[in-house]
Amino acid sequence: MPKKIGRQTLCFDNAYIIEGFSIAGPKERDGNFGSYFDICLDDDKFGEKTFEKAECKMFKTAIDEILKKGQIHPDNIETVLGGDLLNQIISASFCMREYDASFIGLYNACGTFAESLLLGSALVDGGYKDNLICISGSHFSTAERQYRYPLELGVLRAPVSQWTATGVGASVVSSFKNRKICRVTKATAGRVIDFGVRDVNNMGAAMAPAACDTICQFFRDTKTTPDDYDKIFTGDLGRLGKKILKDLLREQEIDLDGKLEDCGDVLFKEEQQTNQGGSGAACSAILFNSFILDKFKKREYEKILLVGTGALLSSITSFQGESIPCIAHCLEISL
Amino acid sequence: MPKKIGRQTLCFDNAYIIEGFSIAGPKERDGNFGSYFDICLDDDKFGEKTFEKAECKMFKTAIDEILKKGQIHPDNIETVLGGDLLNQIISASFCMREYDASFIGLYNACGTFAESLLLGSALVDGGYKDNLICISGSHFSTAERQYRYPLELGVLRAPVSQWTATGVGASVVSSFKNRKICRVTKATAGRVIDFGVRDVNNMGAAMAPAACDTICQFFRDTKTTPDDYDKIFTGDLGRLGKKILKDLLREQEIDLDGKLEDCGDVLFKEEQQTNQGGSGAACSAILFNSFILDKFKKREYEKILLVGTGALLSSITSFQGESIPCIAHCLEISL
């Protein structure tokens, strides 16, 4: 099979996901997927002095536990690819002090997990690595402090806002076929799309055009249609963003009715008052590494798309009057 | 040739650097390599309202100009891999709104350029991309504001400090051999090393152990010695960091006398009062894409190592009493 189709799509023959792991916070435990997560925290400070240290500890826990769960010796993991939402991706970077694997730091906001799977699959499929970990996560309280307001202020949340998920998701991508749960078979790397949205509360509206662009490109490149997939999971557009994406795709004559699920839309229960649903680099990472992999284990999914979406703003760019450029990377995951 | 040696080292047969470009600020112009840079700014605000927007404009200029210089049509660039030092790597991300190429956002601090060459070479060598741009940069004034103090405060700089370089460096990595300037032949991905240095002014001391770790690993994996290389360029250890690295390597019985150059050490002139020399994600990126590529063009270099070094801290981690974890990625560049 060719290794590429068109400008944006990569093809993989030998990139197997052999293990997945998810750790999540108490609010995520009480959401729709609590029973699927490997570890749920009762205290989202995780016994640490600060929320930042708690986020870092979730990364360490995810790496330690995925190795145990998969009975993989740490020496067999060659590289960890990943990142988080904090300035200088400190949660991923600081966690990596504890390990002998090399580290590739990534940042595509909430699309970082999809980015890590794209690159990790290329490194494994290309023969450069045999086993590596793709990882990403976020924490509600560190994200609020950094991007919005200190929690203590009790600022009212806008109706269009989403709730940053607390958690870390990790996958082991491997060249060893006999242990596979599923395969990463294709990946479309996304372009940066900016539709001029300036409302930092409304990430769904900002990110939907990027998701639309990448999904259309994927279908064009691979000559597939939504009918070829059991489900199409977007990262964290939330309820409003999902609606916008459906409208945008309909303009392109692509109908995802009955196929489209958004990780942000479904993560929390209606009564949990998250407004538009979940978001954050944890959102698609923990759902993929629990519920979605479980469906593959049970052979209830044969082929899905995972479309990680990210809003690439910072607080400085918003202060300087900039709009919000966004990105989406699309992965085809097959049994 | 095998695609990997050991856990950390990747091998490439077909990753060619076909063009390089550098844009630098006025202080860099007045340094030791002013005549090598493609564009030097007289005004480091670059006609923009803020330094952040100027940094972003340098990224755009680098991409536009490397395409012109290499007579490459924008449609032929499939992906841009890169990042910068600002929170949420906004300079690279926002610049990518202007282009149709896909974007892979990276962050390994001042080692980001080396990280982008490592991943970019794997994507090209593996057959997933034919032409892509690796890019990284920084700006003195945006870095000072974000990591240290507003310039207006006029805070005295510590004797162990370095001066963040203003500039952006970019390379086109391609599968087209006939246009090659040089090849990326091997890459050792670095581990995160933390020797417990807490002084945020003394990045050289913090980063030297990471550089030592990766260099030793590279020589072990590839069974080469310093004699096999014309020069070994470290990213931006500065004068003090370079001394520490030499001492650390001597303990490992590796003598780099006459071989080791540090991009930070040589970027500025002694009388420019930068204390320990240059630093920043621009430092090795602009030197590599000007002076070093020029040496390859003139066939004065046959084989070198480029060891990008990065300090993975943030201001939050320093406030919370953390030490500084660091990383270094080593690239073997051959004629």
d(CA B103, CA B97): 10
Q: How far is A250 from chain B (nearest CA, A)?
A: 23
Interface predicted TM-score of the whole assembly (ipTM), two decimals: 0.97
Rounded to an integer, the average pLDDT of A85-92 is 97
Whether residue B150 has pLDDT greater than 90: no
Q: How many CB pairs under 8 A join A and B?
A: 194
Which CATH number is B182-334's, of 3.40.470.10, 1.10.357.10, 3.40.47.40, 3.60.110.10? Answer: 3.40.47.40
What is residue B307's predicted lDDT score, i.e. its pLDDT?
Answer: 98
d(CA B2, CA A15): 18
Mean pLDDT score across all residues of chain B: 97
CA separation (Å) from B262 to A78, A189, A309, B245?
Answer: 28, 35, 38, 10
Out of B127, B189, B312, whose CB is closest to A88? B312
A182 pLDDT tier (thresholds 50, 70, 90): very high
Out of A52, A78, A316, whose CB is closest to B7? A78
Rounded to an integer, the average pLDDT of B177-181 is 96
* Residue range B230-259, pLDDT digits in tens: 999 999 999 999 999 999 999 999 999 999
Q: Flag if B53 and A109 touch (Cβ within 8 Å).
A: no
Q: Flag if A115 and B105 touch (Cβ within 8 Å).
A: yes
Q: Flag if A107 and B103 touch (Cβ within 8 Å).
A: no
Residue A97 phi, psi (nearest 5): -60, -25
Which regions of B139-248 does DSSP assign to beta strands (E)? 163-164, 167-174, 182-188, 231-234
* Residue range A221-231, pLDDT digits in tens: 999 999 999 99
Whether residue A304 has pLDDT greater than 90: yes
What is residue A33's predicted lDDT score, i.e. its pLDDT?
Answer: 98
Whether residue B165 has pLDDT greater than 90: yes
d(CA A255, CA A102): 42
Q: How far is A323 from chain B (nearest CA, A)?
A: 9
Given this structure, which CATH class describes domain B4-177?
A: alpha beta
* Residue range B125-136, pLDDT digits in tens: 999 999 999 999
Residue of A nearest to B195 (CA): A97
Q: Which CATH architecture does the domain made up of A183-334 adopt?
A: 3-Layer(aba) Sandwich (3.40)
pTM (2 d.p.): 0.98
CB proximity A129 to B under 8 Å? yes
8 Å CB contact between B111 and B263: no
Cβ atoms < 10 Å from Cβ of B335: 17
Out of A3, A107, A315, whose CB is closest to B89? A107
What is residue A149's predicted lDDT score, i.e. its pLDDT?
Answer: 87
Q: Flag if B88 and A312 touch (Cβ within 8 Å).
A: yes
Which positions in chain A touch B313 (Cβ < 8 Å)?
88, 90
What is residue A150's predicted lDDT score, i.e. its pLDDT?
Answer: 85
Whether residue B1 has pLDDT greater than 90: no
Which positions in chain B touch A94 (Cβ < 8 Å)?
312, 317, 322, 325
Q: Flag if B106 and A101 touch (Cβ within 8 Å).
A: no
CB proximity A41 to B under 8 Å? no
Which positions in chain A touch B104 (Cβ < 8 Å)?
106, 108, 115, 118-119, 189
What is residue A220's predicted lDDT score, i.e. its pLDDT?
Answer: 97
Q: Give the residue range(s) of CATH 3.40.47.40 domains in chain A.
A: 4-177, 183-334
Print the SS3 string covering chain A.
CCCEECCCEEECCCCEEEEEEEEECHHHHCCCCHHHCCEECCCCCCCCCCHHHHHHHHHHHHHHHHHHHCCCCHHHCCEEEEEECCHHHHHHHHHHHHCCCEEEEECECECHHHHHHHHHHHHHHCCCCCEEEEEEEECHHHHHHHHCCCHHHCCCCCCCCCEECCEEEEEEEECCHHHCCEEEEEEECCECECCCCCCCCCHHHHHHHHHHHHHHHHHHHHCCCHHHCCEEEECCCHHHHHHHHHHHHHHCCCCCCCCEEEHHHHHCCHHHCCCCCEECHHHHHHHHHHHHHHHHHCCCCCEEEEEEEEECCCHHHHHCCCCCCEEEEEEEEEC
Q: Give the residue range(s) of CATH 3.40.47.40 domains in chain B.
A: 4-177, 182-334
Residue type, A326: C
Residues 6+ apart with CB under 8 A from B86: A314, A316, B52, B55, B142, B143, B146
Best of B50, B93, B323 to substitute, by most chain A Cβ atoms within 10 angstroms, is B93
Q: How far is B289 from chain A (nearest CA, A)?
A: 22
